[in-house]
Amino acid sequence: MGESRRTKMTKRLLKDSLLEQLRDKPIGKVSVTAICAGADVNRSTFYAYYEDVTALLEEIENDVFEHMPQINDMSGIQQNKEFLHLNIRFFDYIRDNVTAFRVLLLDSQSSSFHDRMLKKLYEMYLNNIAQGGNDELRTRLRYVYIANGALGMLKEWIELDFPVGSREFANLIMDIASY
């Protein structure tokens, strides 16, 4: 059986409180007491759901990745069109969840979200952009470069408060990635 509405609401309050705390300090400096004060819940309530602050952060990160738009195997002529739509949905998702992405990607001292995001982008581009040649090392290095560049652009896009729309941003990244 799933979580009750009250449990979901309490967890949401705790997550929001942690994200607020992470705007000002690194994860190692965030206390359970501060999170509970921000969420207006008791410490015992916190510990009913989470072992520690890191477990709460991990659940936030998992939630973000679990709800990211995904695309399965693509083939044929529709690949670029479908991949563009995946990118647009992906960037719309980031805009819709800007608070979490701003904190986890830009403000947080933790590298775990950054590393997971980089891996996600690497896999996304590796699986969905036509690969050239049979040189495995060259292909791998190309996609590491593309993923790091896309993540850098993504961070800047968030930092600049989305100066272009998701479609334009997706087209820009895909144009750069297809060179």
Same domain? 11 vs 85: no
Same domain? 103 vs 82: yes
User: How many separate domains does the chain show?
Assistant: 2
Same domain? 25 vs 74: no
Q: pTM, whole model, 2 decimals?
A: 0.79
- Give residue-wise pLDDT tens across range 50-81: 999 999 999 999 999 999 887 554 444 345 67
Q: Look at residues 22, 41, 60 and tell me which one is the last residue of a structural domain.
A: 60
- Give residue-wise pLDDT tens across range 112-154: 888 888 888 888 777 665 555 567 788 788 888 888 998 999 9
Spatial separation of the C-alpha atoms in residues 88 and 107, rounded to whole Å:
24
- Give residue-wise pLDDT tens across range 74-94: 444 345 677 788 889 999 999
CATH of the domain at 48: 1.10.10
> Span 158-174, mean pLDDT?
94
Same domain? 15 vs 71: no
Same domain? 22 vs 71: no
Q: Nearest CA to 15 among 42, 65, 67, 50?
A: 50
Range of the domain at 112: 67-177
